[in-house]
Chain A
């Protein structure tokens, strides 16, 4: 478990950290909890990834080879739920736990006990979800979007699915409240809001999105539960309801959710790029405003996921315009990062490579997103592999890359050891080539007419699927390099300095590497020079 916090001997005595299993079960320490979050996220990434591998294996060639269609649908459904709720969100919260107190000059999170609970819920919620594979009727297979009436046909797994979502929601809300309280209330003297590192900014905004959207999801799935077991008619036309109502409520959560996932990644690369460009972040203020506008707008675009349900024309127009408008603040961010690199003095260590990967490949995903925002054309794109390509581009090389970049970036700080740069670069290059082989062809598949969520297809789609699957296997395997690098780094290696990177700026780099158990026992005084990165 102790991936990052080892080497007890480096610590000062007054740390008197608890030992044994209790250290982890009862922890009130932001670093230990952060570590647990990150390890959990990594495990879930592999679990979800293994399911993706089943999907890619089945789609390797036409015909049904390995799995039953029902099981295939379970794979897609649970793959998505595990990746989103088990891997990406916990990874973001884990990084927030580790870094936010160090970045704002605080000793710990504002509510350490609640912090512990928001972590420990995750493994138990994941157990509820994954246990459904062994139930009568199989795991949920109605898609991660859980549209009724289909999802109501789930067997015994159904209430477990709903409660797992409730449980995960509780965890996220507690985590978000904690982060807000920490940032609003625990900043060191002199650390004004406009001096906060961008990673902290993106997390405040993410936390707000979480608090405003997760309860809506909880409400939506509660209605599913009562529709199934208590005879309510929310999603049943025969009683005056409407199946589409669920989609509205779900996507009111679902669209902010994708920005919940992506904003922390934006924050991370906003730390990395200036560091390796050795140049201050361009347009700090506009970055903050752009992030806030993205978050604000994200509450008004939800129905772009449901253009084909047959909304009234005015609704479709409204959601088309709103969706298109999100490209503007996102563009501002992309341009600001580019301007940060411009005339810098750049070096390309692994974190920087991953950050640049985000810039390029997130943009590609964003471009296809914009295309799908054009309603009449989305009537063609919707529910095809074009969508699958879109969101994997924004998610895998857009968010996973951000998180991985952050891990490489901060790993020396966490462990006190430098990671293996050669292996890191190898990881980057193999991943980057394979991820494009994996997801780029899916654009063609979608345009050519391959629907998503199908286990078998006509031969006209065969070539690209095979290529995509090969890319998938290579990408999956190459993630083992990451695990190897992390293990190696935790176990030892060249000692890292406190500042670690030549261009690194901010409070976290003034602490020792690894940092003391309680980050800032004496609040540091923040000046203009020691802030901003």
Chain B
């Protein structure tokens, strides 16, 4: 019973935004209290995350319901597209901050500490005379507070497999899209299923890689700037893969329920865009973190 304004759809007042706000508020407080060293915070954080999940479920249920009722005009569809597109750009910029840190460390700070450049000479001579710059930076200028690691994960082992996994998942999701556009329901579901499977396999490989790094290589978040950039970049990427794969799973379930038409399936496309974005970020990671 929303009031459609002329051609445009304006939703009824909704409680999800404020629920979402409260959910984030509670999660942030919980996380902050937790980081300050109180176990009670973990509990609050748990409640917050539960609320976040509740909010997403409720909000998306509303949107899906409205979409199924055919309330969304083409114009609304375009709004969603702009929205998703710019959201992805903002994500790109978030990763840019961490890539920036990586390049800065590799091109500037580590060489300076090792004595390169006009400013680096004095820095090296007086502060870190025994430090030798290298990348991966396995021995830190002051190793005392950091984990010194023996080896790093080679690019052409598991990471290369992961690259294949993600790239092929980009292909399968496109096949799913083609199937959808031809209204080939079973093709859609199969290809989507394959995509989800590839996505979660990637996550599993990544988890194994972390396990190896922590337990056999001594490579952790505390391993100086190499460990910091490595884990923050791959970690945030991994988190995005989990999000993307979960969204794909939702789309898969909806597809099986018979949602989406050949013309109207923005939810599908939005998630597919997101998936491609995750893919592209991975390529950046593979090249700059693992390989070069």
Contacts and interface: CB of A to CB of B under 8 A. Distances in A.
Contacts of B83: 110-111, 114, 177-178, 181
Contacts of B222: 230-233
Interface in A208-261: 211-216, 218-220, 222-223, 225-226, 229-234, 237-242, 244-245, 248-249, 252
Interface in B96-150: 96-98, 100-101, 104-105, 108-110, 112-113, 117-119, 127-128, 137, 140-142, 144-146
Max count, chain A CB within 10 A of own CB: residue among B22, B86, B104: B86
A234 B28 contact: no
B231 to A, nearest CB: 8
B93 A242 contact: no
B168 interface: no
Contact of A26 (B15, B80, B113): B15
B262 to A, nearest CB: 22
Nearest to A242: B109
Contacts of A121: 21, 24
Interface residues of B, number: 75
Interface string A153-166: 00010011001101
A360 B275 CA distance: 50
A107 interface: yes
A159 B90 contact: no
B29 interface: yes
Given A216-B97, A219-B98, A234-B101, A18 B25 contact: no
B86 A232 contact: no
B32 interface: yes
Contacts of A178: 83
Contacts of B109: 237, 240-242, 244-245
Max count, chain A CB within 10 A of own CB: residue among B24, B31, B117: B24
Contacts of A229: 35
Interface string A9-26: 000000010100011011
Interface string B1-30: 001011110111111111011101100110
B238 interface: no
Given A112-B10, A113-B17, A177-B86, A218 B94 contact: yes
A233 B28 contact: no
B14 A212 contact: no
B25 A128 contact: yes
Nearest to B98: A219
Contacts of B232: 222-223, 226, 232
B105 A180 contact: no
B28 A163 contact: yes
Main SS class of interface, A: helix
Interface in A62-85: none
A245 B228 contact: no
A238 B14 contact: no
A352 interface: no
B171 interface: no
Interface string B42-72: 0000000000000000010000000000000
Contacts of B228: 223, 226, 232-234, 239, 241
Given A156-B36, A241-B109, A241-B228, A108 B86 contact: no
Given A113-B17, A117-B17, A242-B105, A233 B224 contact: yes
Nearest to B137: A240
Contacts, number: 236
Contacts of B113: 237, 240
B15 A111 contact: no
B6 A211 contact: no
B221 interface: yes
A444 interface: no
B100 A248 contact: yes
A321 interface: no
Contact of B90 (A26, A28, A214, A518): A214
A28 B104 contact: no
Interface string B219-260: 001101111110110000000000000000000000000000
Contact of A159 (B36, B89, B127, B128): B36
A185 interface: yes
Contacts of B13: 18, 22-23, 26-28
Given A220-B97, A245-B101, A180 B145 contact: no
Contacts of B28: 128, 160, 163-164, 166-167
A28 B87 contact: no
B10 to A, nearest CB: 5
Nearest to A223: B101
Contacts of B79: 110-111, 181-182, 185-186
B25 to A, nearest CB: 4
A394 to B, nearest CB: 25
Given A167-B24, A185-B78, A211-B90, A113 B16 contact: yes
A464 B153 CA distance: 61
Nearest to B36: A156
A372 interface: no
B261 interface: no
Given A173-B87, A239-B141, A245-B109, 19 more contacts: A28-B10, A28-B11, A108-B10, A116-B14, A124-B24, A159-B36, A181-B83, A212-B93, A214-B90, A216-B94, A218-B94, A223-B228, A237-B113, A240-B225, A241-B109, A245-B105, A249-B97, A252-B97, A252-B100
30 contacts: A18-B13, A26-B13, A28-B11, A28-B12, A108-B10, A112-B10, A117-B17, A159-B31, A160-B29, A166-B28, A173-B87, A176-B86, A185-B78, A212-B93, A216-B93, A219-B93, A226-B221, A229-B35, A232-B221, A232-B227, A233-B146, A233-B222, A233-B227, A237-B141, A239-B145, A240-B224, A240-B226, A245-B109, A252-B97, A310-B119
**Closest 10 interchain pairs by CB?**
A219-B97, A117-B17, A240-B225, A232-B228, A26-B13, A238-B142, A159-B32, A239-B224, A215-B94, A242-B109
